Every structure is written in C-alpha cells, then in structure tokens.
C-alpha cells in the first residue's frame, strides 16, 4: 500500500497548491491515505479550523509542531478536530491529542504519531524518545502501519529517532526545516526515513517568506515582519510504500511538484 505525506504547508498559497496537486499525486501513486504537516497553514504561522477545512477532502490527517498554538482560537478548535494532532510530548494539560489510530479507506488502520524535537527547539517538551516508547505500548497490536512525524530542527536527532524506532514503526518522517533532504531510505528493520520532507510553499522564498525581508532581518538583527509569499508554490512530499500485513516499509520516494498558483 502507498501513503502520501506532504511537507509543511505555508499560508494560503500552500493550501491552494495542496488542493490542486494532492488529488493528482494520490491518483498517480495510488495513495489511499494522506498526511500533511499544517502548522503554518494559517497566514504562515499556526492553524485555523477554517483553513484546514479547505483541504480536508484531500488530506486525511494533519500534524503540527512548535507553532501549533500561534493562532489563539485554535486552542478551542483543536478539541473538535479528530483529524488534527499536536505533539504527543507536550504537557497533558494542553488540548488535543498527540496520536490517533485512523481507518485507511484503502483497507486496515493507520496510527499517526506527532512528536516535537528538543535540540535547538525553544518550546518546552518532554523527551520525544520516552514519549514514543510510551505511545507504542498503547497502540493496539492489530495496527501494523505506524507513521511518525518528528518535527525537529537537528538532523542528528531525527536520524537517532529513526534508528531508535527502526523495525517498530513504518516510517519516521522529519518536518520543520522546510528543506527537502536527499537522505530518504528504508532502514534494515523496515522503517522508512527522511530527515525532512520539505515544504509546500513559494519556491522563490526563504522558508516560504519574502526573500528581501528575511535578508534585511539577518543583516540588521532587528525585529521585522516577514510576509508569506503566496505565488510560485512548490509542493514537497514523500510516498511511503509498505506491506499492510506487517507494516514494514518497502520504499520511500521524494516528490517535488510545481503548482500553477
């Protein structure tokens, strides 16, 4: 079976690109299930239920990261959204869930786990490794396909998580840095891995933001608004192929497509 995972969606342009390209990619690669990181979907920072609703017909599950609470109303909205996850290693006092089991329209079930890294990440979170161990014990044994979105900064931390979970999950897919990496592979235990899936945002930008504004901020060191670029959108993703009987990954393929947006 095949699963499509879309990199960090940035702003309105990113949402439009997902609407345009995700159905086409799902048909091309015969993907019955789609996960997308959406922590920048609302104006480039945070989430909003109305933004998620725009693309809910083409994405089955939305994951997040350190920007999940950037839009204040989302704290109330997330409790009504079973298809949205926040990092599982956040405090249990925070609203929402960090993992769930979902029905795959193509057959069987898929568990999706959302984790936040600790290295170079300013937000406070519990150890993602201990959290992953705890969550895996709670997932029913009948669920063979387990996808982990590890939203982290350091490549080493992401690789360490992949090797730590090798043979225990179907895939460990890195998000957060918005740059698709060239290290996609299937580890010996049958776990697919990539350091970062990339982003769905403007190709001519700096992580989806206006180039000159970002350069000026680096040069001056002063606070500065960083407008989201909403045109010239490229969608980055991966397709993970796996055995539905064992949950072992058999292949992972990088994808990068330009939209007409």
How far is residue 150's CA from residue 131's CA, in Å, rounded to a whole number? 12
pLDDT of the chain, 261 residues: tens digit per residue:
999 999 999 999 999 999 999 999 999 999 999 999 999 999 999 999 999 999 999 999 999 999 999 999 999 999 999 999 999 999 999 999 999 999 999 999 999 999 999 999 877 899 999 999 999 999 999 999 999 999 999 999 999 999 999 999 999 999 999 999 999 999 999 999 999 999 999 999 999 999 999 999 999 999 999 999 999 999 999 999 999 999 999 999 999 999 998
Nearest to 205 by CA among 182, 232, 184: 232
Residue 171: CB atoms within 10 Å:
27
In the set 67, 151, 176, 178, the catalytic residue is: 67
Whether the model pTM is above 0.95 = yes
Range of the domain at 28: 2-200+233-253
Give how far the C-alpha of residue 211 lies from the chain's centroid of Cα atoms, to the nearest Å.
Answer: 24
Domain assignment present for 209: no
Question: What is the CATH classification number for the domain harbouring 50?
Answer: 3.60.21.10
Give how far the C-alpha of residue 238 lies from the chain's centroid of Cα atoms, to the nearest Å.
Answer: 11
Domain assignment present for 214: no
Nearest to 97 by CA among 56, 50, 138, 58: 138
Which pLDDT value is given to residue 244? 93
C-alpha gyration radius of the chain: 17
Map 19-82 to HEC letters: HHHHHHHHHHCCEEEEEEECCECCCCCCCCHHHHHHHCCCCCEEECCCCCCCCCCHHHHHHHCC
Which pLDDT value is given to residue 76? 96
Domain assignment present for 173: yes
Give how far the C-alpha of residue 234 lies from the chain's centroid of Cα atoms, to the nearest Å.
Answer: 16
Domain assignment present for 206: no
Token pair belonging to 125: 């979170």
Element (H, E) at 250: strand 249-258
Token pair belonging to 143: 């669920």
DSSP 168: T
Secondary structure class of 156 (helix, strand, coil): helix
| Sign of the Cα pseudo-torsion (114, 184, 29, 9, in order) | positive
Number of domains comprising the chain: 1
Which pLDDT value is given to residue 261? 81
Q: Which residue has the tokens 């009504």?
A: 80
Domain assignment present for 176: yes
Domain assignment present for 220: no
Which pLDDT value is given to residue 122? 76
Nearest to 11 by CA among 201, 206, 261: 201
In the residue annotation, 163 being an active-site residue is answered as no
Domain assignment present for 7: yes
Token pair belonging to 146: 């387990």
Domain assignment present for 25: yes
Token pair belonging to 118: 């600790």
């Amino acid at each position: 079976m095949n699963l499509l995972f879309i990199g960090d969606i940035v702003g309105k342009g990113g949402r439009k690109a997902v609407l345009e390209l995700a159905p086409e990619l799902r048909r091309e690669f015969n993907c019955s299930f789609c996960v997308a990181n959406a922590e920048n979907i609302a104006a480039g920072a945070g989430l909003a239920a109305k933004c998620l609703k725009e693309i809910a017909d083409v994405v089955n599950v939305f994951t997040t990261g350190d920007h999940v609470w950037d839009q204040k109303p989302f704290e109330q909205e997330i409790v009504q959204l079973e298809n949205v996850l926040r990092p599982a290693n956040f405090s249990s006092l925070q609203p929402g869930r960090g993992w769930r089991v979902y029905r795959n329209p193509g057959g069987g079930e898929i568990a999706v786990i959302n984790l936040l890294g600790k290295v170079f990440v300013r937000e406070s979170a519990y150890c993602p490794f201990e959290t992953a161990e705890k969550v895996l014990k709670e997932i029913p044994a009948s669920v063979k396909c387990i996808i982990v979105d590890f939203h982290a900064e350091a490549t080493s931390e992401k690789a360490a998580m992949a090797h730590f979970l090798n043979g225990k999950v179907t895939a460990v897919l890195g998000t957060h840095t918005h740059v698709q990496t060239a290290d996609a592979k299937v580890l010996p235990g049958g776990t697919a891995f990539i350091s970062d899936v990339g982003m769905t945002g403007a190709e001519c930008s700096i992580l989806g933001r206006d180039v000159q504004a970002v350069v000026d901020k680096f040069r001056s060191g002063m606070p500065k608004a960083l407008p989201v670029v909403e045109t010239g959108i490229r969608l980055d993703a991966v397709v993970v192929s796996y055995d539905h009987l064992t949950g072992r990954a058999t292949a992972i393929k990088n994808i990068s497509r330009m939209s007409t947006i």
